[in-house]
Amino acid sequence: MSAIALVEDYLNERNDPLKAVKKSLDLCERDRNGSFLNLDRKGAIAAAELSQKRYSQGNPIGLWDGVPIGVKDNLALAGLPWTNGMLAYQDRMADFDASCLSDLKASGAVIIGKCHLHEAAMGTSSNNPWFGPCHHPRLYGFSPGGSSGGSAVAVASGLVPLALGTDTMGSVRIPAGCCGIFGYKPSPGKVSQHGLEILSEELDTVGLLAENLRDLVEYGSSLIGLSEKPAVVKMESIHVGILDESDLGECHPKVISAYFNAVSLLQSSGISTKKVPWEKNPSRLRKMGLALCEKEIYKKHGWLLQSNPDSVSPELTKLMKFGKELSAEELNSIKDKLKESVSNMKKYWSSVDVIMTPVTPCPTHSFDVSAPNHFADFTAPVNIMKRPAVAIPFSETEEGLPLGLHVIGHEGEDPQLLSMISTLVDALKPDHA
């Protein structure tokens, strides 16, 4: 499903917002994968009727008008539950809209409902102990990645063309990669955090998931406030940083094979590539980033351990207790080490326009096993370095599980990153080389 194609159909009277939104709601109500925690049928239909009226009068608001979208349930939406994936907040009703949602509604977007997420947005499996698992759109019983698993599955299943997620250490890009769709994590500050149930002040970013590349670029540009999509960059103008085989030592063989196939396709297309140093111990960075989250989540929700301990899963309880025990001295030491790593990586990567890595070091997994500890090793450093990044679908395993690629830009240079994505995706097509 393409948002741009929907709008074109509205303009040419081949479809209308009310019909499209009702179809989306019907699909959502029949969904067995658990993409949504709550639907807003009444509110969505009312918004679609207003959009239909604007189109009939030849006066649509713009790009988002009449487009059905899903939003992760750690973002406040007035009149709907705001659970953050937590049992303690299952009956909390938002009385205001998150700023990003208010902006989208003012642009005509039709919010279908609130999407499933990992408990407290703190995990990668989307196996929520209170609201059940969100299943992979291709293999029921498998994880779609997380924590924005519901947003990814809603898009990958064709329920909505676009969905918002949030990304602290990979929570947009990991499920995008696992589900075979596109995921965009903007640079910090590009999208307001107001109305987001914060997991980490330093690392959180609202992001976009889309099935269609053109949708990702145009709606991603709009999400960060650009008035028009960036111009496409020619292949010969792009310099891509690539990893050495030693940087992929912890990766599944299928991931390694797919990655170097992608590198070969880029080189065959005429795009310049250069090996750049990757963080020698990405798990170390991920663990330090996790410590920041543990400290903040305890500060915000730790009161539940005393007043309502049965509302917090053993997994989240353990993480909160780690945060409680982290001293101010230890926290400052972690922040100093992260600053040093960021400084080094900036120096190493200054000679390339983007860096390409796998999204995850292995394919997704069954719910019968725990999520791999190193699942966020390629994505977490990006949040720590405050860089924008896009997950793009590329390959898949024999079982049909997608394997994604991860393109990382420079801090604050989101327009430049988005301007290169279409060219890079085109270069990665086997028939292009």
R_g over Cα of the chain: 21
Strand ranges in 103-194 using DSSP code E only, listed in sequence order? 110-115, 127-128, 132-133, 162-167, 182-185
Q: Annotated active-site positions, please?
A: 72, 147, 171
**Phi, psi (degrees; rounded to nearest 5) at 132:** 85, 170
Q: What number does CATH give the domain 1-433? A: 3.90.1300.10
The pLDDT of residue 347: 84
In contact, 406 and 389? CB cutoff 8 Å: yes
Q: Which of 167, 385, 413 is CA-nearest to residue 279?
A: 385
Q: Which of 148, 152, 126 is CA-nearest to residue 138?
A: 152
Give the C-alpha distances (Å, rounded to integers) separating 4 from 25, 49, 57, 154. Answer: 19, 19, 20, 17
Give the C-alpha distances (Å, rounded to integers) separating 359 from 290, 377, 387. Answer: 18, 9, 15
Q: Which of 280, 394, 421 is CA-nearest to residue 341?
A: 280
In the numeric block, which tokens belong to residue 142?
């498998």
Quote the CA–CA distance of 249 and 179 in Å, as a whole number. Answer: 24
256 three-state secondary structure = helix
Q: Which of 136, 180, 143, 129 is CA-nearest to residue 31?
A: 136
Q: Exposed, middle or buried: residue 336 (CB in 10 Å: 0-12, 13-18, 19+)?
A: exposed
Name 382's Cβ contacts closer than 8 Å, sequence gap at least 6: 170, 173, 185, 389, 406, 408
The pLDDT of residue 281: 86
Return per-residue pLDDT of the chain as tens, 433 residues: 899 999 999 999 999 999 999 999 999 999 999 999 999 999 999 999 999 999 999 999 989 999 999 999 999 999 999 999 999 999 999 999 999 999 999 999 999 999 999 999 999 999 999 999 999 999 999 999 999 999 999 999 999 999 999 999 999 999 999 999 999 999 999 999 999 999 999 999 999 999 999 999 999 999 999 988 889 899 999 999 999 999 998 899 999 999 999 999 999 999 999 999 998 888 999 999 999 999 999 999 999 999 999 999 999 999 999 999 999 999 999 999 999 988 888 888 999 999 999 999 999 999 999 999 999 999 999 999 999 999 999 999 999 999 999 999 999 999 999 999 999 999 998 765 4
The pLDDT of residue 431: 67
The pLDDT of residue 180: 98
In contact, 247 and 355? CB cutoff 8 Å: no
Q: Give Cα 276 to chain centroid, integer Å.
A: 25
